[in-house]
Amino acid sequence: MRYLPLFKEEQILCCGRGHPLFSRKSAPTRDEINAFDYASRSYYGGVLKPGPMKPIRDAVKSGSMEGITAAILSGGFLGHLPEQCARPWISAGEMKPVLPTEMSYEALFECVLPAGSRTSRAQAVMEEIIIGSANNSE
């Protein structure tokens, strides 16, 4: 398989209104964070591969950002969301980042292509566009 980078997405740890960390003034420690239930993603076993947090209390799993968002908004769970998904809820005062400088991470999205196979014209054009787009964004 060949991997072509597409884009990076910032993932931030959040809690919702009603969660004990939401109105807390002092920053929690990692041990304190680990004591809370976590809403994780089901599509990679719930463990954040590149992230700084390996959930100990992996209580809820969802295959969608909407599911993770709902769990966070319930006030009962922490969870990582893409920054652009969390932003409207944070702006509305319904969600809050938790230790964003320590507990956030970047996820790389890639296009996966077969290696060593014949390339169709459509695939070759798509690869040219992806590579050209990546070169223009640097």
- Rounded distance, CA 42 to CA 55, Å? 13
Task: Return the closest-CA partner of residue 54 out of 24, 84, 25, 34.
Answer: 34
* pLDDT tens digit sequence for 91-116: 999 999 999 998 888 888 888 888 77
- Rounded distance, CA 7 to CA 25, Å? 34
The pLDDT assigned to 46 comes to: 45
Decide: 55 and 46 in contact? Cβ < 8 Å. yes
* pLDDT tens digit sequence for 9-52: 999 999 999 999 999 999 999 889 989 999 988 776 444 444 55
The pLDDT assigned to 104 comes to: 87
